Structures are given as structure tokens and as C-alpha cells.
Amino acid sequence: MKKLLVLMVLSVLTVFGSYASAAEFQVAVASNFQAPAELIAAEFEKDTGHKAVLAFGATGAFYAQIKNGSPVSIFLAADAKTPKQLDADGLAKAGSIFTYAQGALVLWSATADYVDDAGQVLKDGGYQHLAVADPDRAPYGAAAFELLKAWGLLDKLQQEQKLVTGENIGQTVQFVETGNAELGLVALSQVWKDGQFTSGSGWKVSPDLYSPILQDVVILKTAENDPAVQAFADYLKSEKAKEIILSFGYALP
């Protein structure tokens, strides 16, 4: 009985100690990665006790905020360029950058059977609006413009005022969901889960029509000695996190 009591006390102290050392930190996340990030953060908290507080937005906007002193500990960007720029600016923890996912561009409509399996509907032009993300702020917007240029459509769509531009890729999807645009060039992860479109219809844009979308993570210098932040970065490489990332249509580096 005495031995059992000692074990129970030790167990309680262990649990108390783990929660006493639990930390909370701020994570900036590119909009395209919102759904998987929420699942990964929930699993991370269950497994470690640490809480990752997530904020979602455009990569370019987050860069400006971090430069202006935003209290972000770790940044999951939608490209590889921005974390490297933060490193060049002296704002990143040395050696902390790595690719956590490779994204894919998709032509998507909220209407079933609207998009054909070759994206011909985009060329045909029988739509009033095409939603794209701001190419200067969102890497998926830049990829969309690459596609439109490759197909010789950009100037025509701009002249006809058919482009609807979202501040980030999250707002771009909303334009299509709400019917403000019949079509959108968005991140596959936003409309894809477990091998199929979650709604509507879409065409996975051929990857040779835009530059690879390598999404990198960086720990900010202000959090370089924070073990909880490092633990979250390491967790992105775990098998559990990788399964979540793959289920949303991303490729792994």
C-alpha cells in the first residue's frame, strides 16, 4: 500500500511538473496551411502540453509585421524566399530554416462539374470572375500569375476586368465559396482532403506551369532559446505531422 501511494504521488508530481513547464507562443501561418496547422497544433498540445497560438494571413504581410516587431516566435511561410530574407535581415535563429511542405496550385469552383480535368474552362473564358491572391503578397498568387502568363491569358483577363484579387489565399477561396467568382486559382490544400475535393470541382494545375511552391519555416531570433518553439519546429518533422500534411494534398520535401 505504501509503495502504491508513493507511485501515485510521483505520478501526480510528474503530471503537475509537465504542465507547470508548458509554454505558450505565437505562430504566424500562411493562409493556405490553416487547416493542417490547426490539426498539428492540437496534436502538439496533446503530446507536449505546449500551446501554439496560431494567426493566419499572407506571407508578405507577416514579413512586414515581423520587421516591425510583431511578437511572432515561429513563422510557417508559403514560400522559401521570405524566411531566407528574414535570415538576411538578422531576424532569424541561425540554422532554423527548413522546408515543411511543398504546395500545389489548383483551379477550383464551388460548383460541381464546372471545372474539367484539363482546365479548359479557364481558357474558354465563359466566366465573369476569376479569383487570385495578390501576387506581391502571396506566393500562390504569384504562381497563379505564372500560369495565366504561360497560357497567354493575363492581359486579356485584366483588360476584361475579370480578375478578383484577394489579400491572401484564404480570402481568395472565400470569393469562390461565396459566389463572387465562379473560378479561383487557390492552394490545393484548401479544397482537398484525403484524396478528393472537399466540395465543388477542380483541376490540379500541371506543376510545369509554375515555379515549385516550397514552404519554409523559420524560428525568429527573439525565440531562439525557447525550447517549446524548437519542439514545435521539430514536431513538424514527426510522422504524425507528416501524415496530416500529406492528407491535405501537399508533397513532402
Q: Specify whether 47 is located in the same domain as 121.
A: no
Q: pLDDT value at position 165?
A: 97
Q: pLDDT value at position 179?
A: 95
Q: Specify whether 110 is located in the same domain as 200.
A: yes
Q: Are 44 and 235 in contact (CB under 8 A)?
A: yes
Q: Specify whether 10 is located in the same domain as 96.
A: yes
Q: What is the pTM of this model?
A: 0.85
Name which of 76, 89, 80 is nearest 143 in CA terms.
80
In a domain, 253, yes or no: no
Cα dist from 172 to 26, 146, 238, whole Å: 25, 17, 30
Q: Specify whether 76 is located in the same domain as 195.
A: no
The residue among 204, 220, 238 that closes a domain is: 204
6: domain range? 2-102+212-247
In a domain, 232, yes or no: yes
Residue 93's CATH number:
3.40.190.10
Angle between helices 227-235 and 34-48 (to 10 degrees): 120
Q: Which residue bears the cell 520535401?
A: 253
Name which of 74, 6, 1 is nearest 40 in CA terms.
74
Q: Specify whether 85 is located in the same domain as 111.
A: no
> In the chain, which stretches have pLDDT less than 50?
2, 4-20
User: Concatenated DSSP letters for 161-220?
Assistant: T-EEEESSHHHHHHHHHTTS-SEEEEEGGGSEETTEESSSEEEE--GGGS--EEEEEEEB
Q: Specify whether 59 is located in the same domain as 136.
A: no
Total domains, the chain:
2
Q: Are 86 and 59 in contact (CB under 8 A)?
A: no
How does pLDDT run across 116-147, given as a tens digit for each residue?
999 999 999 999 999 999 999 899 999 999 99
- In this structure, what are the phi and psi dihedrals at residue 249, rounded to the nearest 5 degrees? 90, 5
Q: Specify whether 37 is located in the same domain as 113.
A: no
In a domain, 252, yes or no: no
Q: Specify whether 109 is located in the same domain as 200.
A: yes
